[in-house]
Amino acid sequence: MFEILSSPDAWVALLTLTFLEIVLGIDNIVFISITANKLPAKDQKRATNIGLLLAMVQRIILLFAVSFLIGLKEPFFYVEQSWISIGISGQAIILFVGGLFLLYKSTSEIHEKVEMPGHEERALIEKKITSFSKAITQIVLIDFIFSIDSILTAVGMTNGIGNKPMDALVLMIIAVVISIIIMMIFANPIRVFINKHPSMQLLALSFLILIGFMLIAEAAHLSEAKVFNQQIGAIPKGYLYFAIAFSLLVEFLNLKMRKNTVEAKVSEK
């Protein structure tokens, strides 16, 4: 089962996916914390930990469900026109719809964070919670909403990796478990870092746009789609990994430069 971990591509995918899961999970932590903070002080930490554990369980269950649907590779409907040829399968539908969802979700999230910062947090704060069970119910709903783009991101990063159907699923589950454990242990420092450097979260959301386009292209490729007699090819995942790594390097250099600039100004005074 863990033979996939002997592949360098698998490790690159695992590390990249774990990073994205952590950064994209910050909003989940924030909303869980807002909900938990409405409870008595003695119950807040317990509610937060339960919320993160439930998030992990939900993600793993959804991973199994999505992996099963992606396994439906046989076309059940064909489109044959003079300008387009395509064989539609369950796998292609999941990847195509998932890609569209990521494009919509990432662009709407970027718009909200730039134009309406704190809008969702304020709406959640206004909701009243009167018991521990109601808080957990609300946390479960929050977890489910945030699980969707998390799972689609995992699928986009690992689909096609490995020789066995279970290889990609193993990578996704490992990444989810590691990210949740890290968030449970370092939730507050991670949240402080992201709040201090919001560009990191915007960068992660921008990566979702890339992953969304890749899922759509992969859906067309796996359907053997031809448009004007031109076969649509798959986007090599190495391009995606390089784009993410290069963007992160530039961002960390930018953070370092800003830090040095601030320290230089302080020393001048």
User: What tens digit of pLDDT does each residue of 1-10 get?
Assistant: 566 667 777 7
Cα angle value 185/12/221 (rounded, 5°): 120
Q: What integer is the mean pLDDT of 73-86?
A: 81
Percent of the chain whose pLDDT exceeds 90: 0
Q: Which residues neighbour 34 within 8 Å (Cβ) at sequence distance 6 or greater?
A: 121, 124, 125
Q: What integer is the mean pLDDT of 204-212?
A: 83
Q: What integer is the mean pLDDT of 246-266?
A: 81
pLDDT of amino acid 163: 64
User: Is 0.95 surpassed by the pTM of this model?
Assistant: no
pLDDT of 31 strictly over 60:
yes
pLDDT of 116 strictly over 60:
yes
Backbone angles phi, psi at 77, to 5 degrees: -150, 135
Q: What integer is the mean pLDDT of 57-72?
A: 80
Where exactly are the structural domains of the chain? 8-262
Q: Per-residue confidence at 113, pLDDT binned at 50, 70, 90?
A: confident
- Check if the beta carbon of residue 105 is closer than 8 Å to that of residue 149: yes
pLDDT of amino acid 234: 73
How many other C-beta atoms can be found within 10 angstroms of the C-beta atom of residue 234?
14
Cα angle value 148/211/144 (rounded, 5°): 5
pLDDT of amino acid 61: 86
- Check if the beta carbon of residue 201 is closer than 8 Å to that of residue 113: yes
User: What tens digit of pLDDT does each residue of 87-111 get?
Assistant: 888 888 888 888 888 888 888 888 8
Three-state SS at 85:
strand
Q: Which residues neighbour 61 within 8 Å (Cβ) at sequence distance 6 or greater?
A: none
Place of tokens 């968030």: 183
pLDDT of amino acid 119: 61
d(CA 135, CA 142): 10
Q: Per-residue confidence at 130, pLDDT binned at 50, 70, 90?
A: low
